[in-house]
Amino acid sequence: MIKVELRELGTIEYQACYNQMIGLINESPKFHSIWVLEHEPVFTLGISEKEIQENLDHNPPIVKTDRGGKITYHGPGQQVFYFIFDLKQLPFKPSELTKKILETTNQCFHDIGLDSTINEKDPGIYVNGEKVASIGMRIKKNYSYHGISINFETDTATFNTFNPCGLDVKACNLVDYINIDKKELINKLKTRYIELTQT
């Protein structure tokens, strides 16, 4: 059974975190790695975003990256999980990774009493038509990277400056719909994500 490493990175600047992900992949690790963190305020542009340009002078900065998807926001109060998985050591096809992460996250939400749904056409998790979780992944050298961001109690006013992920929807916070301790939620998700790599 392949080892799963957990890294708790606290609040970290986006580009520094991205550089660390690429650095780990370049080391060809013999384990899966799940990173738990929050980002300093930033908009990131996925490879599908064609209308909005990178602007590091914007507040928050708009940073081009190589994940899937369009534009999204990261900031304090949003819980991020990054998955640096050895795709040869997963119990499912690499093409199923995004779907598996969404299903695992959504099942965890249901377990705590949240009435959430997955939108597979525009990948993410929604509550009452508002987006509570966004996902964007990438594969390099047979490893996955990037991951899922969950709006726990973040600045949705800034998030909604742009349409989340290029969609005509608004972002919402999990705490708007359910009362749960953040650490408890994180621990439940970590357990679920580890199980995902083993079964």
Residue 42 and residue 51 in contact, taking contact as beta carbons nearer than 8 Å: no
- Pairwise CA distance, residues 1 & 92, whole Å: 14
Q: DSSP readout, 99-157?
A: HHHHHHHHHHHHHTT---EEETTTTEEEETTEEEEEEEEEEETTEEEEEEEEESS--HH
Coil, strand or helix: which one is 161? coil
- Pairwise CA distance, residues 51 & 162, whole Å: 11
All structural domains of the chain? 4-198 (3.30.930.10)
The catalytic site residues sit at 165
Question: What pTM does this model have?
Answer: 0.95
Close Cβ partners of 48 (under 8 Å, ≥ 6 residues apart): 68, 69, 70, 166
Tens of pLDDT along the chain (199 residues) come to 789 999 999 999 999 999 999 999 999 999 999 999 999 999 999 998 888 899 999 999 999 999 988 889 999 999 999 999 999 999 999 999 999 999 999 999 999 999 999 987 778 999 999 999 999 999 999 999 999 999 999 999 999 888 666 556 889 999 999 999 999 999 999 999 999 999 7
Residue 31 and residue 86 in contact, taking contact as beta carbons nearer than 8 Å: yes
